[in-house]
């Protein structure tokens, strides 16, 4: 479950931040934590439990406090903050950087950035961005599609028919997120998000044909950059010696990055239309989430007393 980092320059580009003071190394600065600090207490001199590796965001309150200080005290407060080696300071609401802030940034090599967004709005968007970019992640061999709003991860051995199934699903009006390699990130204790590596985004490999660009063939509505993983379908070649669940009473899960995702196993055999089966499985999963289970309803009809 490796943790990643994001370059400060990526944040500048994503949020269209203005560079007020450039240290010359924004392209190399890495942000490794998703937490963001509004340093009001720190500017007042309280540094217990302070995380120096967090992005510092100055909004209305912090700016007003700095305005209230004398020039000497303002310089002292800012230098004390920058001496902690913070990665950068971002001014919201287009606040002007005080001369003492610029001087401290030059002295202690801290980038100063600015946005016109409101502080709470910017903080929320920045934390969401960092949580996604810095989330624990894993790469899995499989296919990720969206079927009726549900993120379906299709797993199975090479050659079992995952890509062909995905292509047929796209033709039926659903969307492709990733083929062959799926980058999966755990963005919370209950949520997984998957997407394709940049180099193979929108591409799908069909044996005998080669590489297809799904976006170019079927239009922009046939692809999606990322999707939550709600359900896992494991495809495997039909094994005559194996007993498969025929009613769907058994609840299976697949563990991905410590999260147990509901799943089923579908045997692959001649004549089976996997795209229709996967589509039906996705719809059935959605119906179950809404509280109806056809298998349990059948058991209740056959055994009204509840004893099988």
What gap in Å lies between CA 28 and CA 24, rounded to an integer? 9
Q: Which has the closest alpha carbon to 230: 288, 144, 152?
A: 152
Widest CA span of the chain, in angstroms?
Answer: 84
What gap in Å lies between CA 32 and CA 134, rounded to an integer? 7
Token readout for 301 is 């009809």
Cβ–Cβ < 8 Å for 117, 93: yes
Active site residues: 141, 162, 180, 246
Residues 6+ apart with CB under 8 A from 201: 178, 195, 223, 225
Cβ–Cβ < 8 Å for 253, 262: yes
Instruction: Give burial (CB, 10 Å; 0-12/13-18/19+) of 284.
Output: middle
Residue linked to tokens 């931040």: 17
What gap in Å lies between CA 129 and CA 121, rounded to an integer? 12
Cβ–Cβ < 8 Å for 34, 130: yes
What gap in Å lies between CA 158 and CA 179, rounded to an integer? 12
Residues 6+ apart with CB under 8 A from 302: none
Residues 6+ apart with CB under 8 A from 154: 142, 143, 144, 145, 162, 165, 166, 232, 233, 235, 278
């Amino acid at each position: 479950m490796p943790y990643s980092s994001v370059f400060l320059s990526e944040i500048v580009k994503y949020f269209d931040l203005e560079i007020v003071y450039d240290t010359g190394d924004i392209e190399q600065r890495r942000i490794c934590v998703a937490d963001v600090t509004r340093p009001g207490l720190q500017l007042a001199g309280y540094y217990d439990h302070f995380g120096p590796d967090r992005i510092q965001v100055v909004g209305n309150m912090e700016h007003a406090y700095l305005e209230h200080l004398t020039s000497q005290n303002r310089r002292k407060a800012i230098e004390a903050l920058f001496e902690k080696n913070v990665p950068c300071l971002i001014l919201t609401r287009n606040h002007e950087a005080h001369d003492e802030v610029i001087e401290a940034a030059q002295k202690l090599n801290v980038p100063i950035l600015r946005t016109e967004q409101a502080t709470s709005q910017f903080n929320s968007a920045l934390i969401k961005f960092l949580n996604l970019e810095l989330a624990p992640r894993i790469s899995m061999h499989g296919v990720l599609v969206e079927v009726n709003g549900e993120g379906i991860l299709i797993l199975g051995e090479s050659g079992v028919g995952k890509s062909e199934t995905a292509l047929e699903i796209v033709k039926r009006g659903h969307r492709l997120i990733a083929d062959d390699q799926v980058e999966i990130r755990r963005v919370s204790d209950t949520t997984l998000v998957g997407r394709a590596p940049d180099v193979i985004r929108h591409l799908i490999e069909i044996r005998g044909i080669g590489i297809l660009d799904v976006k170019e063939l079927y239009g922009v509505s046939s692809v999606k950059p990322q999707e939550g993983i709600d359900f896992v379908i494991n495809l495997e070649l039909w094994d005559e010696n194996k007993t498969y669940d025929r009613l769907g009473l058994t609840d299976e899960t697949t563990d991905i990055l410590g999260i147990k995702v509901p799943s089923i196993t579908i045997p692959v055999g001649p004549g089976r239309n996997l795209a229709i089966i996967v589509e039906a499985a996705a719809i059935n999963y959605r119906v179950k989430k809404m509280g109806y289970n056809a298998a349990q309803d059948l058991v209740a009809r056959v055994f009204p007393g509840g004893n099988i």
